[in-house]
Amino acid sequence: MKPRSLKARALQWLAQREQSRVELRRKLLPYAVAEAQANAPARADTDSDTDSRDATAPPGLDASQATPAARVDALLDWLEAHRYLSSERFVESRVHARAARFGNLRIRQELKQHQVALAPAAAQALKDSELERALAVRERKFAQWPANATERARQARFLAGRGFSPEVIGRALRTPGRPHQDDPDIPDPADATPG
């Protein structure tokens, strides 16, 4: 049985979920190297005037002359040109998958590792919803509000590990039912002057 081509592997992974170019390149490169090593003895035995075009190579690339990295990069270019691979779709998918469980710092770090960035509108939407997401994450993990400083620090460490900003953590861990003294958008009832 003939092993799957690089293109078939890439399309299978992309059918399962969106991938970044960096991630797909990292996954494909070992297969390209193994393919080149397996084909090296066979190519040495063939005449140079035979058609050396490999059926697994992307269009316009002679597989016998390309390095494994060049073959993978050409395939990735072809996938992007035909819209199988899209960094915009990857960002949207990753944000959608991570937003319910992680804060903005963690999401941005993951996207940075994949060498992609958030669109300004998506960044603003994440910023606007970060407090609600932090409250939901805290509520799923902890049954009760922090009763003392030790428990508050424990919950704060948990939220920080999930990538929420210190400001959002502070706001999320306020005791429920008390006025939000630190929030400039919510007036403190003590500041109200009688009629």
pLDDT tens digit sequence for 134-182: 999 999 999 899 989 999 999 999 999 999 999 999 999 985 644 444 4
For the stretch 12-24, pLDDT in tens is 999 999 999 999 9
Question: Helix or strand or coil: residue 59?
Answer: coil
* Window from 6-15, 43-52, 84-93 with minimum mean pLDDT: 43-52
Q: Which of 26, 32, 18 is nearest to 61 (CA)?
A: 32
Which of 19, 22, 35 is CA-nearest to residue 73?
22
pLDDT at residue 187, as a whole number: 42
Per-residue model confidence as pLDDT tens digits over 83-112:
999 999 999 999 999 999 999 999 999 999
C-alpha span between 10 and 14 (Å, rounded): 6
What are the extents of the domains in the chain?
6-44+59-81, 87-176
Classified as helix, coil or strand, 50 is: coil
pLDDT of residue 38: 84
For the stretch 188-195, contacts whose Cβ atoms lie closer than 8 Å and that sit 24 or more positions apart, written own/partner, are none
Q: So what's the pLDDT on residue 59?
A: 53
pLDDT of amino acid 174 = 86
pLDDT of residue 55: 46
The pLDDT score that the predictor gives to residue 52 is 43
Give the percent of the chain with pLDDT over 70. 76
Q: Provide the pLDDT confidence category of residue 46 given band limits of 50, 70 and 90.
A: low
* pLDDT for position 190: 41
- Whether 7 shows a pLDDT value over 80: the answer reads yes
